[in-house]
Amino acid sequence: MSDAAEPEAGADPGERGERIAKWLARAGVASRRDAERMLAEGRVALNNVRLTHPASFVVPGDIVQVDGKVVDSPDRTRLWRYHKPAGLVTTHRDPEGRPTVFDKLRSQLPRVISVGRLDLTSEGLLLLTNDGGLARRLELPATGWVRRYRVRVNGQPDPQALAGLSRGVTIDGIRYGPIEADLDARKGDNAWLTVSLREGRNREVRRIMAYLGLPVSRLIRVAYGPFQLGTLPRGGVEEVPARILREQLPADVAPAAPTRKQRG
């Protein structure tokens, strides 16, 4: 397998198709950033020529390979709601050999990636898509989507301390943005809270509750932006209809409506 040459100077990108990293992201291989890293590592080939730079374009009929395996052309953008149970990690390959979300769903879905993550012991709504570019876009705080959780904590929450989270908090030098935390119920030594945030940093809810002296014993994501967990059963997966997808996604990433010819 030879290395790809640099693209011709002055070539019109519009005539050369779609940039390889974006194509790989839409095909659900990885986010665009991770796809660029794969390119830098020499793991991607176009028409049996190893690519050495991201300024490569894919046109219909081209054959793209990652690690020697042919990648199917991107399907239309699709999104699924999944009720993740505790005990699964949100990664494609776990070095510790723990069961993963993607292993569990391999027989039910095409190649997908997650929009954000839920850790091993967390439950609830996990969005899955076949479009890596969409996943990256929806994870960004700039999208403005609220992530909402039901959280069971051990201890007696201080209403003033919870209210203070609306101003943000700094823990171990890390600044967390405004968080809404409401006390729903107390039962014995435990309490249930509803926690809403927009950033979604790694283990953010658990770290902030621990900072308040309230260790989390259960965490369930019930909403991610306009998409709700609702009555989806644990372990259940359901595709979001294309019409709703177009209505709810930001205009710059929403899939186009099918033409009359496409609708048949």
Residues annotated catalytic, as ranges: 119
**Is the distance from CB of 131 to CB of 18 less than 8 angstroms?**
no
On whether the CB atoms of residues 154 and 217 are closer than 8 A, the answer is: yes
Cα–Cα dist 73/62, whole Å = 9
List CB contacts of 161: < 8 A, sequence separation 6 or more. 212
| 3-class secondary-structure state, position 141 | helix
CA distance 141 to 108: 30
Rounded-to-integer distance, Cα 3 and Cα 50, Å: 5
3-state secondary structure (DSSP) of residue 158: coil
H/E element holding 208? Answer: helix 204-211
For helices 32-40 and 132-139, angle between their N-to-C axes, nearest 10 degrees: 120
* Lookup result for tokens 């769903």: 105
Q: What element of type H or E holds 260?
A: helix 260-263
Helices H / strands E in the chain, number of each: 8, 18
Both tokens assigned to 107: 């027989």
Whether residue 99 contacts residue 43, with contact meaning beta carbons closer than 8 Å, is answered with no
